[in-house]
Structure 1
Amino acid sequence: MTSPETLADAETPATPPATHRWSPVLAVALATFTVVSSEMMPVGLLTPMSHSLGVSDGISGLSLTITGLIAAVLSPFTPVLLGLRDRRTTLVAFMLLLGLADALTALAPNFAVLALGRVLLGAAMGIVWGLAASLGPRLADGPRTALTMTLIFSGVSIASVLGVPLGTYLAALLDWRAAFWALALLGVVSAAVLATTLPALPVHERGRLSGLAGALRHRGIAVGIAITAFVVLGHFTGYTYVRPVLETDAGLSSGVIAACLLGYGLAGVAGNFTLGPLSGGRPRTAVLLALSGVTLAIALLPYATGGLVTVLLALIVWGASYGGVSVSTQNWVRTADPARIEASAAVWAGVFNASIALGSFAGGLVVDHAGNHAVLLTATALTAAGLLLAALSRPGDSRPGDHRPG
């Protein structure tokens, strides 16, 4: 019998008609692409934004921190906040909010208004992330769940490869505000696509805070979330500051660095589509492969800066491995207890976003006080801790009392 703490997770999959089987999945992938592109766009536009708003680059950089922290706070409470609201209606509404947030950012006459836009974006991102991570099993049957999850998370990888560079290019042709107007339009388009392709996604049990606590009391879920925290912390501790490493230690020019990072991004897309399907049936294997590659690449990068080929190889391994992190860790959490999909996915999304913000912040402290090699060493230690935890655990690990009601 399903306990109250399972929230709304034990819903019957809402599989659309066969002729439209993949359209709702691709619609959710478009939503994740739009969300991540909106979140990360300031990375490519930091300098023109700073000049236009009359603030320092450091102040402009807070636009990323604001969004990440708001999303991190909201994501875990998504099932509780939404109650019995249909998940299709919710996704459409919050994608429209995302469009409004990007429009407000584009119109911002000063940093205060821009910060308000980024707060709204964080709210939209937190809810969309909190729901998207749990939708795979509701949009496809068992054999197709792994591919469904892979496609949903492909939006994250593709945003890194295409979304931010295209926005940066548009900003160079027009101005930085044009990039956010384009994202605002994409948010509205994404909402329309979701509204026309998603099946109804009703919920019959109200989410409770006890359900979130129940998910965390399950050892397999808790371990999967801890693994996620370690690898995302480590990744963003190092990757946020990879450009100074390539400039200072490897002596690469801006154009060559851009080409290397493009190679990293393309490898990330490949990693998502390679490790994603594997993680559907063998999540532990996929997580071990992903974390092994990330740890190895970060550890070797300081010693690979003597030549372009070795730098590129390290970045490709890093990209391909990290590209599979989102889908493989989420599949670990999902496999640990399928009865708590929405609750565990919401907590996972919150931890993921919090780890992005904390990793970037921690990396900044380390690089300022100890230098480039120290920041990569710190990143290696964090991802290695996640790898060790994964090696010593399994998604199905549980203990007596894991399944008791709150």
Structure 2
Amino acid sequence: MPIALFVLGLTVFSLGTTEFMIAGLLPELAAGFGISLPHAGLLISLFAVGVVIGAPTMTVLTSRVPKKATLVALLAVFVLGESLAAMAPSYGVLLTARVITAVSHGAFFGIGAVVAANLVPQEKKARAIAIMFGGLTIATIAGVPLGTFIGQQFGWRTTFWAVAVLGLLSLVGLGTLLPHQPRDEQPSIRSELSAFANPKVWLALATTMLSQAGLYAAYTYVAPLLTNVTGFPETAVAPLLLLFGIGSFLGTVLGGRFADRRLMSTLTVGLVLLSGMLLLFDVTAHNEVTMIATLGLFGVAGFLINPALQTRVMDESEGAPTLSSASNISAFNIGNALGPWLAGLGIGAGHGYLAPSRIGAALAGTALLTALLGMVADRRERRSAVLRAADGEPYTRALVMANHSSGHGNFDAPA
């Protein structure tokens, strides 16, 4: 694999660390600015809003700029935002810095995924995306706990400075190691928008949003589940979350390999596993041994689908993948916000700490339905290709057109 892919992974590690580390630093930030914890929590929710809005907006605004130059510029804005956050004299300035960082964060993920896929042959596309997104899973394993530790020991500003330095190193790496992509390869805004005329793009975006909502509905409240239901001491939560993180990394790696062979099969099987693992919490949450095993497998199942989710959207936007890729990042973040909100409603209604996993299973099951609808649409396209061939259109040409819409040539179901 090209070394530029691993530079993209390092960059995503920095982006992922700054996205999630705030949760561990909320007490320090609230105390530092003299505000309440819920008020400080706006640093998380407004970051998600910035990603949702910024990813497609920045992609459209930079559509005529070569992708390498766009990524370098976005990363420079990210470093600027982290530096501003580290120096923030007031809560308002810190909030502004977080929004600036979020806008560049979302667009970088969307455009970076397209660049990662372009660095490798077609049959390795999902693995390339998995390497890039692997930086995010490593951030959950190491970056977030380390960022929280640094902030607690040396002050929260030190954590932002550390991430800014990582971003600067990534900036140098991208500038020197990422191949240049000529401007004439950039599709027009009209062609990018035309991708959304394909219903399968919307099905793919819905699958992303619903699956992530299911995942994060359960994950957000896993700590009180472990302590209040399973009976683990609070000191065991961090090692158990590390186990989940290791599982998520393994799931991302396996998901990239499987998706390159059978994209839609990987996605649907992964969603079945995710739904099953979430339902399994009801059975295993009352025993420490079974809960440990379930938590690790939950991490694998939750992230097994991610490379397929991103690749599916890009495949269905053949010739104009950048805006839809960025929109998929928005879908990820909408799901990340929707799931915990619904789970919180379940807990607030008195259904206990197993309510999030049950709600998550329902959301993941709905995501499975949208994925299956996408597979039905794929079958119809292949059947249409056969009919067009019967009417005189060259069969090979018709079939290749259908293959592009069903997982870059890998059949997952017979026509």
Q: Which residue is 1:353 aligned to?
A: 333
Partner of 1:339, secondary structure, is: coil
Name the CA shift for 1:321/1:203 in 2 (closer, same or farther; >3 Å). Answer: farther
**1:128 to 2:102 alignment:** no
Name the CA shift for 1:114/1:79 in 2 (closer, same or farther; >3 Å). Answer: closer
CA distance in 1, matches of 2:365, 2:140: 24
What is the aligned counterpart of 2:356 among 375, 381, 385?
375
TM-fit CA distance, 1:289 = 2.5
Deviations along 1:101-149, one digit per CA (max 9) or x if unpaired, are 1222222233211101111111111210121121233111223323212
CA distance in 2, matches of 1:260, 1:304: 15
Look up the equivalent residue of 2:363 and give its one-letter code: L
Partner of 1:199, secondary structure, is: coil
Name the CA shift for 1:178/1:290 in 2 (closer, same or farther; >3 Å). Answer: same
What is the aligned counterpart of 1:146 among 123, 126, 134?
126
**1:229 to 2:199 alignment:** no
Whether contact under 8 Å (2:72, 2:174) holds in the other structure is yes
Q: Which residue is 2:306 aligned to?
A: 326
CA distance in 2, matches of 1:92, 1:234: 33
Name the CA shift for 1:382/1:102 in 2 (closer, same or farther; >3 Å). Answer: same
Q: Which residue is 2:277 aligned to?
A: 297
TM-fit CA distance, 1:397 = 5.9
**1:384 to 2:349 alignment:** no
TM-fit CA distance, 1:76 = 2.2
Look up the equivalent residue of 2:174 and give its one-letter code: L
Q: Which residue is 1:64 aligned to?
A: 44
CA distance in 2, matches of 1:393, 1:31: 32
Once superposed, which parts of structure 1, at least 4 consecutive aligned residues long, lie more than 3 Å away?
Answer: 205-213, 395-400
Name the CA shift for 1:184/1:174 in 2 (closer, same or farther; >3 Å). Answer: same
CA distance in 2, matches of 1:115, 1:202: 36
Bigger Cα displacement from structure 2, 341-350 vs 361-370: 361-370
Partner of 1:393, secondary structure, is: helix
- The residue correspondences of 1:275-314 to structure 2 (distance < 5 A) are 275-314=255-294
Q: Which residue is 1:47 aligned to?
A: 27
Q: Which residue is 1:219 aligned to?
A: 199
**TM-score normalised by length of structure 1:** 0.88
**1:93 to 2:69 alignment:** no
Look up the equivalent residue of 1:73 and give its one-letter code: I
Partner of 1:135, secondary structure, is: helix
CA distance in 2, matches of 1:398, 1:112: 53
TM-fit CA distance, 1:60 = 1.5
Q: Which stretches in structure 1 are left out of the alignment for 5+ residues?
A: 1-20
Partner of 2:151, secondary structure, is: helix
TM-fit CA distance, 1:29 = 1.0
Look up the equivalent residue of 1:312 and give its one-letter code: I
- The residue correspondences of 1:66-215 to structure 2 (distance < 5 A) are 66-204=46-184, 210-215=190-195
Bigger Cα displacement from structure 2, 192-201 vs 76-85: 76-85
**Structure 1 vs Structure 2: percent identity of aligned residues?**
26
Look up the equivalent residue of 1:386 and give its one-letter code: A
CA distance in 2, matches of 1:340, 1:94: 20
Deviations along 1:337-382, one digit per CA (max 9) or x if unpaired, are 4323223212211211222123233333332233322222211111
CA distance in 2, matches of 1:312, 1:391: 31
Q: Which residue is 2:295 aligned to?
A: 315
CA distance in 2, matches of 1:211, 1:64: 34
CA distance in 1, matches of 2:106, 2:242: 27
Whether contact under 8 Å (1:84, 1:202) holds in the other structure is no
TM-fit CA distance, 1:83 = 2.7
**TM-score normalised by length of structure 2:** 0.86
What is the aligned counterpart of 2:237 among 231, 241, 257?
257
Q: Which has the larger radius of gyration?
A: 2
Look up the equivalent residue of 2:222 and give its one-letter code: V
Bigger Cα displacement from structure 2, 339-348 vs 366-375: 366-375
Look up the equivalent residue of 1:278 and give its one-letter code: F
Name the CA shift for 1:299/1:176 in 2 (closer, same or farther; >3 Å). Answer: same
TM-fit CA distance, 1:208 = 5.4
Q: Which residue is 1:9 aligned to?
A: none
TM-fit CA distance, 1:333 = 1.9
Q: Which stretches in structure 2 are left out of the alignment for 5+ residues?
A: 385-400, 402-415
CA distance in 1, matches of 2:212, 2:309: 11
Q: Which has the higher contact order (CA 8 A, sep 6+)?
A: 1
CA distance in 1, matches of 2:34, 2:40: 10
CA distance in 1, matches of 2:86, 2:281: 37
TM-fit CA distance, 1:210 = 4.2
